[in-house]
Amino acid sequence: MSAPLSESVVDEQRSSLADDPVLTVFEKGAPGRRAFQCPALDVPAADPEELLPRELRRAEAPRLPELSEPEIVRHYVRLSKRNFDLDSGFYPLGSCTMKHNPRLHERVAALGGHARLHPLQDPEQAQGALELMWNLQGALGEIAGLPHVCLQPSAGSHGELAGVLLTRAYHEDRGEQRHKVLAPDTSHGTNPATVTMAGLDVVKLATNPAGGVDLDDLRAKADADVACLMLTNPNTLGVFDPNIEEIARIVHDVGATLYYDGANLNAVMGLSRPGDMGFDIVHFNLHKSFTQPHGGGGPGSGPIAVSERIAPYLPVPTIVRGEEGAFDLEYGRGRVGSKSIGRLRSFQGNYGCFVRAYAYICSLGADGLKDASETAVLNANYLLAALRERGVLEQLPLAYGDLCMHEFVLSGGPMKRELQIKTLDLAKRLLDFGYHPPTVYFPLLVEEALMVEPTETETKETLDGFADALAAILREAAENPEIARTAPHTTPVRRLDEVAAAKRPVIRQALTVG
């Protein structure tokens, strides 16, 4: 067995690699190095002043990095190893639907015909792309139960902006200036932020003891000034609102629209459709339910589907199908009486994400999508049961109800009081166990919230292991809370000083601002 070396010496050895100083790409390399070989000048040399007068020219080249190609590769490969990722471990980040990202999608998205297709290519020469988008629109419309789809928005938040602007356009077209948007206190931050950006005012709705919308509060606030109700269903508590029909009725009765935040669509694909619940507008997060990889914070894609009454206002361009089946882009420009809210971004949206989402839908098909949602809900409930069985829910009770949809929210309140560790400590300690923690401190109305979304692509073994880890951390905290409070202990860095970072922000190399 191991030679007799004192613990502290071994420990010193262990940290030698970790002490590799962290240098940025700007602190590496040497002047003059580069990877790029510029193609030779193959046209006649011309007077620089004639090409671009001195006063328009840059005085000094931007101080970009100067490294050889092997250095660049090594720098970023090494950086990558300082990231936790979904391909390496369980990532039950609530509300984010961290499901497996099949590599097939990367393969098909990389095909030259998709990846090197210019966005202004003439539609006759982009028929494959337009057909793909057409098919994806159709599939998303069917899944939402709302027939009119626009793929353009770049993320969920962008889809929300589109949705609120559509609602405005709808009311304005009818001569109404409604300025309120209702949103429950469980809503995601993008909902109220969007309302403000769209020039309207948020009115917060209370949550009832079952975790749904407080109907009395809704009735009280649903007046003629209300443009829209924004809802997530199942909501961010993992609760499917049992009163959804009544809610829709109330909102429609005052002439307002219903907006469905589709971030939680993974619970209900093929099982229940926003359109059938009475919603007018839905956004999808292709990077959640449809497994566009999250990329460390994007790219995303946030298509929207809308009802008949909202359709006239959809953004341009739209895809149209001609008599002979050929596809074209329709810009609405010059079309008399176009009511479109206009463009939300350049070109046609994040096509690369469409390719992946479409490949996913093709792979799963009707049954597969339903299976996915069923398994997502099964996995969440199993994990909940496994935690219950291990006694974890005693200190971390389920915030609402006893079952859940595809995710659930625990409250760390009792744990904080009884074990003197906070949800943050629990989360940090999970890092030492090789898990990405759940979403923490959201939704805001749950004390010390812990929001767990396992997704359908995880196995029972993984769920059991995670339940064991939570139980172990609670047991450990009962004995020595300090371990969790000072966690993590095994990560490349430990807890970081976020206060200092915000107080005196250093947001670029070697320059202190603010």
Partner 1 sequence: MLAAIGVGSVQELFDRQVPAPVRLGRPLDLPPGMAEQDVYEHLRELAARNVSAEEQLSFLGAGMYDHYVPSLIDMLMERSEFLTPYTPYQPEISQGGLQVMFEYQTAICELTGLPVANASVYEGASAVASAAYLAKLHNGRRRIVVSAGLHPHSLQTLRTYAHGFGAEVVEVPLKDGRTDLDAWVAAIDDDTSAAIFAQPNVYGAVEDARALSAGAKDAAEPVVIAQVDPITLGILAAPGECGVDVAVGEGQALGNRLDYGGPSFGFFAAREQYLRRMPGRIAGETRDIDGRRGFVLTLQTREQHIRREKATSNICTAQALNALGGVVYLAWLGRQGLVELGELLLARTHYARETLSTLEGAQPLHSQAVIREFALRLDGDVPAIRRRCIAQGVNPGVDLQALTGREQDRGGLLVALTERRTRADVDRLVDVLGAALAAERHTEAVAV
Residue 232 interface partner, choices its own copies, partner 1, ligand PLP, none, CB cut-off 5-8 Å depending on type? ligand PLP
Q: Are strands 439-440 and 304-306 parallel, antiparallel or unpaired?
A: unpaired
Residue 224 interface partner, choices ligand PLP, partner 1, its own copies, none, CB cut-off 5-8 Å depending on type? none
State the number of binding residues for its own copies (CB under 8 A): 51
Q: Applying CB under 8 A, does 68 fall inside the site for its own copies? A: yes
Q: Applying CB under 8 A, does 74 fall inside the site for its own copies? A: yes
| CA pair distance 147, 129, nearest whole angstrom | 20
Q: Min. distance of Cβ 155 from ligand PLP in angstroms? A: 4
State the number of binding residues for ligand PLP (CB under 6 A): 14
Q: Applying CB under 6 A, does 411 fall inside the site for ligand PLP? A: no
In the chain, the amino acid numbered 381 is N
First CA to last CA across the chain, in angstroms?
A: 56
Of 108-116, 149-157, 422-430, 473-481: span binding ligand PLP (CB under 6 A): 149-157
The site string for ligand PLP over 260-289 (x = CB under 6 A, - otherwise) reads -x-x---------------------x----
Question: Which one-letter DSSP state was computed for residue 436?
Answer: P
Of 100-108, 159-167, 226-234, 393-401: span binding its own copies (CB under 8 A): 100-108
Are 101 and 293 contacting, i.e. CB atoms less than 8 angstroms apart? yes
Cβ-count burial of 464 within 10 angstroms (0-12 exposed, 13-18 middle, 19+ buried)?
Answer: middle
The site string for ligand PLP over 153-192 (x = CB under 6 A, - otherwise) reads --xxx------------------------------x-x--
| Of the candidates 378, 397, 401, the residue with the CA atom closest to the CA atom of residue 242 | 401
Quick one: tokens of 20?
A: 């590799």
Are 277 and 262 contacting, i.e. CB atoms less than 8 angstroms apart? no
Which single residue is written with the structure tokens 């709705």?
205
Q: Applying CB under 8 A, does 45 fall inside the site for its own copies? A: no
Q: How many Cβ atoms sit within 10 Å of the Cβ of residue 48?
A: 10
Q: Min. distance of Cβ 129 from partner 1 in angstroms? A: 5
DSSP 203-251: EEE-B-TTSSB-HHHHHHH--TTEEEEEE-SS-TTS---TTHHHHHHHH
Residue 420 interface partner, choices ligand PLP, its own copies, partner 1, none, CB cut-off 5-8 Å depending on type? none
175: region left, alpha or beta (phi > 0 left; psi from -120 to 50 alpha): left
| CA pair distance 505, 511, nearest whole angstrom | 9
User: Residue 139: which residues within 8 A CB-CB, separation 6 or more?
Assistant: 358, 361
Q: Min. distance of Cβ 358 from its own copies in angstroms? A: 18
Helix (H) or strand (E) holding 505: none
Near ligand PLP in 88-107, by CB under 6 A: 95-96
Q: Applying CB under 8 A, does 89 fall inside the site for its own copies? A: yes
Phi, psi of 207 (to 5 degrees): -105, 135
Of 215-223, 245-253, 304-312, 456-464: span binding its own copies (CB under 8 A): 456-464
Residue nearer to its own copies on the CB measure, 327 or 435? 435
The site string for ligand PLP over 351-380 (x = CB under 6 A, - otherwise) reads ------------------------------
Residue 95 interface partner, choices its own copies, partner 1, ligand PLP, none, CB cut-off 5-8 Å depending on type? ligand PLP
Q: Which residues pair with 311 in a beta bridge?
A: none
Are 321 and 134 contacting, i.e. CB atoms less than 8 angstroms apart? yes
Residue 325 interface partner, choices ligand PLP, its own copies, partner 1, none, CB cut-off 5-8 Å depending on type? none
When binding is defined by CB under 8 A, the residue of 57, 78, 343, 504 that contacts its own copies is: 78
When binding is defined by CB under 8 A, the residue of 48, 69, 335, 509 that contacts its own copies is: 69
| CA pair distance 502, 514, nearest whole angstrom | 9
Quick one: tokens of 211?
A: 């975790």
In the chain, the amino acid numbered 144 is A
Residue 459 interface partner, choices partner 1, ligand PLP, its own copies, none, CB cut-off 5-8 Å depending on type? its own copies
| CA pair distance 460, 462, nearest whole angstrom | 5
| Degrees, nearest 5: CA angle 285-159-281 | 95
Residue 482 interface partner, choices ligand PLP, its own copies, partner 1, none, CB cut-off 5-8 Å depending on type? its own copies
Residue 236 interface partner, choices ligand PLP, partner 1, its own copies, none, CB cut-off 5-8 Å depending on type? ligand PLP
Residue nearer to partner 1 on the CB measure, 249 or 417? 249
| Of the candidates 226, 171, 180, the residue with the CA atom closest to the CA atom of residue 199 | 180
DSSP-derived 3-state class of residue 283: strand
Q: Applying CB under 6 A, does 350 fall inside the site for ligand PLP? A: no
Q: Applying CB under 8 A, does 38 fall inside the site for its own copies? A: no
The site string for its own copies over 460-499 (x = CB under 8 A, - otherwise) reads xx------------------x-xx-xxxxxx---x-----
| CA pair distance 52, 441, nearest whole angstrom | 55
DSSP-derived 3-state class of residue 174: coil
Residues in the site for its own copies, rule: CB under 8 A? 2-3, 5, 7-11, 13-17, 20, 28-30, 68-71, 73-74, 77-78, 81, 85, 87-89, 100, 102-103, 432-434, 457-461, 480, 482-483, 485-490, 494
Residues in the site for ligand PLP, rule: CB under 6 A? 95-96, 155-157, 188, 190, 232, 236, 261, 263, 285, 300, 302
